[in-house]
Amino acid sequence: MAIRIGICGAGGRMGRNLIAATLEHAELELAAALERPGSSLLGVDAGELAGQGRMDLTVTDDVEAALAGVDVLIDFTLPEATVANAAACAGAGVPMVIGTTGLDDEHKRQLREAATRIPVVHAANFSVGVNLTLRLLATAARALGDDFDVEVIEAHHRHKIDAPSGTALRMGEVLAHSLGRNLDECAIYGREGRTGERDSKTIGFETIRGGDVVGDHTVMFLGLGERMEITHRASSRMTFARGATRSAVWVRQQPPGIYDMEDVLGLRG
Protein backbone atom coordinates (compact mmCIF):
# COMPACT_ATOMS: atom_id res chain seq x y z
CA MET A 1 0.00 0.00 0.00
CA ALA A 2 1.43 3.40 -1.00
CA ILE A 3 2.49 5.92 1.65
CA ARG A 4 0.22 8.96 1.40
CA ILE A 5 2.15 12.23 1.29
CA GLY A 6 1.04 15.78 2.03
CA ILE A 7 3.15 18.69 0.80
CA CYS A 8 3.11 22.16 2.34
CA GLY A 9 4.03 25.15 0.19
CA ALA A 10 3.02 23.18 -2.89
CA GLY A 11 3.20 26.22 -5.17
CA GLY A 12 6.76 27.22 -4.30
CA ARG A 13 9.93 26.23 -6.13
CA MET A 14 10.62 23.38 -3.73
CA GLY A 15 6.95 22.46 -3.40
CA ARG A 16 6.61 21.80 -7.13
CA ASN A 17 9.74 19.67 -7.09
CA LEU A 18 8.42 17.77 -4.08
CA ILE A 19 5.21 17.01 -5.97
CA ALA A 20 7.24 15.71 -8.92
CA ALA A 21 9.51 13.63 -6.65
CA THR A 22 6.49 12.15 -4.88
CA LEU A 23 4.80 11.21 -8.15
CA GLU A 24 7.95 9.50 -9.48
CA HIS A 25 8.47 7.45 -6.28
CA ALA A 26 7.05 3.93 -6.50
CA GLU A 27 6.18 3.75 -2.79
CA LEU A 28 4.49 7.14 -2.48
CA GLU A 29 1.13 8.67 -3.35
CA LEU A 30 0.42 12.42 -3.35
CA ALA A 31 -2.61 12.80 -1.09
CA ALA A 32 -2.61 16.53 -0.24
CA ALA A 33 -1.10 19.75 -1.59
CA LEU A 34 -1.27 22.72 0.76
CA GLU A 35 -0.81 26.47 0.32
CA ARG A 36 -1.28 29.43 2.63
CA PRO A 37 -4.77 30.93 3.08
CA GLY A 38 -5.47 33.51 0.40
CA SER A 39 -3.00 32.06 -2.09
CA SER A 40 -3.97 32.50 -5.73
CA LEU A 41 -3.11 28.82 -6.24
CA LEU A 42 -5.93 27.46 -4.07
CA GLY A 43 -8.14 25.21 -6.18
CA VAL A 44 -5.46 24.63 -8.84
CA ASP A 45 -4.78 21.01 -9.81
CA ALA A 46 -1.61 19.90 -7.99
CA GLY A 47 -0.32 17.80 -10.88
CA GLU A 48 -0.69 20.59 -13.39
CA LEU A 49 0.91 23.03 -10.93
CA ALA A 50 4.07 20.92 -10.94
CA GLY A 51 3.99 20.30 -14.68
CA GLN A 52 3.11 16.64 -14.19
CA GLY A 53 -0.32 16.58 -15.84
CA ARG A 54 -3.78 16.67 -14.33
CA MET A 55 -4.33 14.38 -11.33
CA ASP A 56 -7.65 15.63 -9.91
CA LEU A 57 -6.11 16.75 -6.60
CA THR A 58 -6.57 20.45 -5.90
CA VAL A 59 -4.43 22.72 -3.75
CA THR A 60 -6.06 23.50 -0.40
CA ASP A 61 -5.38 25.52 2.75
CA ASP A 62 -7.26 23.11 5.07
CA VAL A 63 -4.45 21.57 7.11
CA GLU A 64 -6.76 19.65 9.44
CA ALA A 65 -8.58 17.95 6.56
CA ALA A 66 -5.30 17.19 4.80
CA LEU A 67 -3.79 15.54 7.89
CA ALA A 68 -6.79 13.22 8.12
CA GLY A 69 -5.75 11.66 4.81
CA VAL A 70 -1.94 11.56 4.85
CA ASP A 71 0.73 9.33 6.39
CA VAL A 72 3.59 11.89 6.27
CA LEU A 73 3.64 15.67 5.86
CA ILE A 74 6.58 17.31 4.06
CA ASP A 75 7.17 20.99 4.87
CA PHE A 76 9.66 23.29 3.12
CA THR A 77 8.00 26.62 3.92
CA LEU A 78 8.67 29.39 6.47
CA PRO A 79 9.49 29.02 10.18
CA GLU A 80 6.17 30.33 11.53
CA ALA A 81 4.14 28.09 9.21
CA THR A 82 6.35 25.09 9.91
CA VAL A 83 5.98 25.20 13.70
CA ALA A 84 2.22 25.64 13.36
CA ASN A 85 2.09 22.61 11.05
CA ALA A 86 4.29 20.65 13.45
CA ALA A 87 1.84 21.29 16.29
CA ALA A 88 -1.04 20.15 14.07
CA CYS A 89 0.86 17.02 13.04
CA ALA A 90 1.65 16.22 16.68
CA GLY A 91 -2.05 16.45 17.48
CA ALA A 92 -2.97 14.23 14.51
CA GLY A 93 -0.11 11.73 14.98
CA VAL A 94 1.33 12.41 11.52
CA PRO A 95 5.14 12.19 11.06
CA MET A 96 6.92 15.12 9.40
CA VAL A 97 9.83 15.79 7.08
CA ILE A 98 11.02 19.40 7.43
CA GLY A 99 13.42 21.28 5.19
CA THR A 100 12.58 24.80 6.39
CA THR A 101 15.61 26.97 7.19
CA GLY A 102 15.97 30.19 9.19
CA LEU A 103 14.48 28.71 12.38
CA ASP A 104 15.40 30.51 15.60
CA ASP A 105 15.80 28.94 19.04
CA GLU A 106 12.10 29.26 19.86
CA HIS A 107 11.09 27.62 16.59
CA LYS A 108 13.48 24.75 17.31
CA ARG A 109 12.08 24.38 20.81
CA GLN A 110 8.58 24.04 19.37
CA LEU A 111 9.80 21.40 16.93
CA ARG A 112 11.41 19.44 19.77
CA GLU A 113 8.12 19.65 21.66
CA ALA A 114 6.20 18.26 18.68
CA ALA A 115 8.82 15.52 18.29
CA THR A 116 7.97 14.15 21.74
CA ARG A 117 4.76 12.89 20.08
CA ILE A 118 5.76 12.19 16.47
CA PRO A 119 8.94 11.35 14.53
CA VAL A 120 10.38 14.37 12.71
CA VAL A 121 13.21 14.45 10.16
CA HIS A 122 14.59 17.99 10.12
CA ALA A 123 17.59 18.75 7.93
CA ALA A 124 19.14 21.92 6.57
CA ASN A 125 19.87 20.04 3.35
CA PHE A 126 18.38 16.78 2.05
CA SER A 127 21.06 16.16 -0.57
CA VAL A 128 22.90 12.86 -0.13
CA GLY A 129 26.06 14.55 -1.39
CA VAL A 130 25.87 17.39 1.14
CA ASN A 131 25.47 14.97 4.03
CA LEU A 132 28.49 12.99 2.89
CA THR A 133 30.32 16.33 2.60
CA LEU A 134 29.55 17.01 6.27
CA ARG A 135 31.34 13.78 7.13
CA LEU A 136 34.35 14.81 5.07
CA LEU A 137 34.44 18.21 6.77
CA ALA A 138 34.47 16.64 10.22
CA THR A 139 37.36 14.36 9.25
CA ALA A 140 39.35 17.21 7.67
CA ALA A 141 38.81 19.56 10.62
CA ARG A 142 40.00 16.97 13.13
CA ALA A 143 43.08 16.16 11.05
CA LEU A 144 44.08 19.77 10.27
CA GLY A 145 43.20 21.28 13.64
CA ASP A 146 44.07 24.83 14.61
CA ASP A 147 46.96 25.08 12.13
CA PHE A 148 44.49 25.87 9.34
CA ASP A 149 42.10 28.80 9.09
CA VAL A 150 38.54 27.85 8.11
CA GLU A 151 36.18 29.81 5.86
CA VAL A 152 32.69 28.82 4.62
CA ILE A 153 31.47 30.36 1.35
CA GLU A 154 27.92 29.83 0.06
CA ALA A 155 25.94 31.03 -2.94
CA HIS A 156 22.19 30.83 -3.64
CA HIS A 157 19.59 32.31 -5.96
CA ARG A 158 18.38 35.88 -5.57
CA HIS A 159 15.07 34.83 -3.99
CA LYS A 160 16.53 33.15 -0.89
CA ILE A 161 15.53 35.17 2.17
CA ASP A 162 17.85 33.85 4.92
CA ALA A 163 21.62 34.11 5.22
CA PRO A 164 23.88 32.34 5.72
CA SER A 165 22.11 29.29 4.36
CA GLY A 166 21.00 26.58 6.73
CA THR A 167 23.50 24.26 5.07
CA ALA A 168 26.37 26.69 5.63
CA LEU A 169 25.42 27.02 9.28
CA ARG A 170 25.25 23.24 9.62
CA MET A 171 28.71 23.01 8.09
CA GLY A 172 29.87 25.58 10.64
CA GLU A 173 28.39 23.53 13.48
CA VAL A 174 30.17 20.38 12.27
CA LEU A 175 33.47 22.25 11.90
CA ALA A 176 33.22 23.93 15.29
CA HIS A 177 32.35 20.67 17.05
CA SER A 178 35.24 18.85 15.37
CA LEU A 179 37.63 21.64 16.39
CA GLY A 180 36.36 21.83 19.96
CA ARG A 181 34.85 25.29 19.52
CA ASN A 182 31.48 26.95 20.13
CA LEU A 183 30.11 28.31 16.85
CA ASP A 184 28.14 31.05 18.62
CA GLU A 185 31.44 32.38 19.96
CA CYS A 186 33.76 31.87 16.98
CA ALA A 187 31.63 32.64 13.91
CA ILE A 188 32.39 35.76 11.84
CA TYR A 189 29.66 36.71 9.35
CA GLY A 190 31.30 38.83 6.66
CA ARG A 191 34.07 41.38 7.01
CA GLU A 192 34.24 45.07 6.26
CA GLY A 193 36.59 47.92 7.02
CA ARG A 194 39.67 47.74 9.23
CA THR A 195 39.12 44.32 10.79
CA GLY A 196 42.61 43.69 12.14
CA GLU A 197 44.52 40.44 11.94
CA ARG A 198 42.48 37.25 11.65
CA ASP A 199 41.88 35.34 14.88
CA SER A 200 42.97 31.76 14.13
CA LYS A 201 40.13 30.34 16.24
CA THR A 202 37.35 31.98 14.20
CA ILE A 203 35.24 30.38 11.45
CA GLY A 204 34.33 32.84 8.70
CA PHE A 205 31.15 32.89 6.60
CA GLU A 206 30.64 34.66 3.29
CA THR A 207 27.27 34.84 1.51
CA ILE A 208 26.55 35.36 -2.19
CA ARG A 209 23.04 35.91 -3.57
CA GLY A 210 22.16 36.18 -7.25
CA GLY A 211 20.66 34.69 -10.36
CA ASP A 212 19.26 31.17 -10.20
CA VAL A 213 22.03 29.42 -8.23
CA VAL A 214 20.44 26.35 -6.63
CA GLY A 215 23.10 25.98 -3.95
CA ASP A 216 26.91 26.10 -3.85
CA HIS A 217 28.95 25.52 -0.68
CA THR A 218 32.74 25.59 -0.32
CA VAL A 219 34.76 25.18 2.85
CA MET A 220 38.35 26.42 2.64
CA PHE A 221 41.05 25.13 4.99
CA LEU A 222 43.91 27.63 4.63
CA GLY A 223 47.33 26.73 6.03
CA LEU A 224 50.85 28.04 5.52
CA GLY A 225 52.04 26.79 2.14
CA GLU A 226 48.91 24.82 1.28
CA ARG A 227 45.15 25.14 0.98
CA MET A 228 42.40 22.53 0.82
CA GLU A 229 38.86 23.14 -0.44
CA ILE A 230 35.82 20.90 -0.14
CA THR A 231 32.96 21.92 -2.43
CA HIS A 232 29.43 20.74 -3.09
CA ARG A 233 27.30 22.19 -5.88
CA ALA A 234 23.62 21.43 -6.43
CA SER A 235 22.32 21.88 -9.97
CA SER A 236 18.69 20.86 -9.41
CA ARG A 237 16.18 21.16 -6.57
CA MET A 238 15.12 17.60 -7.37
CA THR A 239 18.25 16.55 -5.47
CA PHE A 240 16.70 17.90 -2.28
CA ALA A 241 13.19 16.72 -3.16
CA ARG A 242 14.33 13.12 -3.68
CA GLY A 243 16.16 13.20 -0.36
CA ALA A 244 12.96 14.41 1.29
CA THR A 245 10.83 11.64 -0.24
CA ARG A 246 13.46 9.09 0.81
CA SER A 247 13.15 10.51 4.34
CA ALA A 248 9.36 10.24 4.19
CA VAL A 249 9.61 6.49 3.60
CA TRP A 250 12.11 6.14 6.44
CA VAL A 251 10.41 8.30 9.07
CA ARG A 252 7.23 6.23 9.21
CA GLN A 253 9.14 3.39 10.84
CA GLN A 254 10.65 5.53 13.62
CA PRO A 255 9.54 6.31 17.18
CA PRO A 256 8.94 9.94 18.20
CA GLY A 257 12.04 12.11 18.14
CA ILE A 258 14.10 14.53 16.04
CA TYR A 259 16.17 12.97 13.26
CA ASP A 260 18.26 14.27 10.36
CA MET A 261 19.62 12.98 7.06
CA GLU A 262 22.55 11.28 8.74
CA ASP A 263 20.00 9.06 10.48
CA VAL A 264 18.12 8.45 7.22
CA LEU A 265 21.33 7.51 5.39
CA GLY A 266 22.65 5.35 8.24
CA LEU A 267 25.72 7.56 8.73
CA ARG A 268 25.24 8.18 12.45
CA GLY A 269 28.17 6.82 14.46
Which pLDDT score is estimated for 35? 97
Which pLDDT score is estimated for 245? 97
- How would you label 166-201 residue by residue, b for 16+ Cβ within 10 Å and e otherwise? bbbbbbbbbbbebbebebeebbeeeeeeeeeeeeee
Catalytic position from the list 107, 108, 160, 201: 160
Domain 3-126+237-265, CATH: 3.40.50.720
Please state, in angstroms and rounded to a whole number, the distance separating the CA atoms of residues 184 and 170: 12
**Per residue in 208-263, pLDDT tens?**
999 999 999 999 999 999 999 999 999 998 999 999 999 999 999 999 999 999 89
In the chain, where are the structural domains located? 3-126+237-265, 128-234
Q: Report the SS3 class of residue 51.
A: coil
Provide the CA 5 distance to its chain's centre, in angstroms.
Answer: 18
25 is catalytic: no
Same topology for domains 3-126+237-265 and 128-234, yes or no?
A: no
pTM for the whole structure: 0.82
Catalytic position from the list 156, 159, 177, 232: 156
Please state, in angstroms and rounded to a whole number, the distance separating the CA atoms of residues 176 and 141: 8
Instruction: Tell me the average pLDDT of the chain.
Output: 95
CA-to-CA separations, 242 to 130, 134, 205, in angstroms, rounded: 13, 19, 28
Which pLDDT score is estimated for 1? 85
Provide the CA 234 distance to its chain's centre, in angstroms.
Answer: 13
Residues of the chain scoring pLDDT < 70: 269
DSSP 8-state secondary structure symbol assigned to residue 260: -
156 is catalytic: yes
User: Using an 8 Å Cβ cutoff, are 260 and 127 in contact?
Assistant: no
Q: Which CATH class is domain 128-234?
A: alpha beta
